[in-house]
Amino acid sequence: KPVFLAGIVFDVTERKEMEMDLAQKNKILQEMSSLDGLTKISNHRTLVEHLKACISDAVRTGSPMSIAIFDIDDFKKVNDTRGHVFGDQVLARVAAIINGSIRGADLAGRYGGEEFMVLFPDTGLEQAAKVSERIRQVIADYAFEEGMRVTVSGGVKQYTGETPAELIHAADIRLYQAKKNGKNQIVF
């Protein structure tokens, strides 16, 4: 039987609310730092970080890994004829089409300007090229406001031991080959 009992009670409700608020704000900041503000898909930095991780996984497991780079054909004309607000809408819609055309394991992002990249882990060149062609076709068939159409060109490259920068450069060379060949096509 206790002879003496003492205690102190603290109300930690306010502190817990502040911690929860801070956690929510940190989550928002993390999303903001990893997503492109306009297109709401991964930004350049996030793409490169994930590319390094995908390459590391491919080396470790021996599984294939591919990337695709897309560029909106003649995008300057869109901005010059319809304005930058319409151009932004085109960028956001193209991003949504790309993101909606890939698997959950894949990652789409805005590489820069009107260029987009898709990372295809556990995917060989032919399958990545097939998905990229499907993306190209969906974009070409999409009617923007007033029936305007845009097309994309793309380059696809499977990882074969290069550095991330070399892999991106190789896909970029294929993209520019697609542009040189007349645009609205995928080169792999």
Angle, in degrees to the nearest 10, between helices 164-180 and 44-61: 110
Kindly give, in sequence order, each residue whose CB lies less than 8 Å from that of residue 153, ignoring residues fewer than 6 positions away. Answer: 70, 71, 73, 136, 175, 178, 179, 183, 184, 185, 186, 187
Query: Which token pair is 52?
Result: 């390094």
The answer to whether 70 and 179 have CB atoms below 8 angstroms apart is no
Q: Assess whether 114 carries a catalytic annotation.
A: yes
Q: Looking at 14, 17, 31, 114, which residue is catalytic? A: 114
In a 13 Å sphere around the CA of 131, the CA atoms on its Cβ side amount to 26
Q: Report the catalytic residues.
A: 114
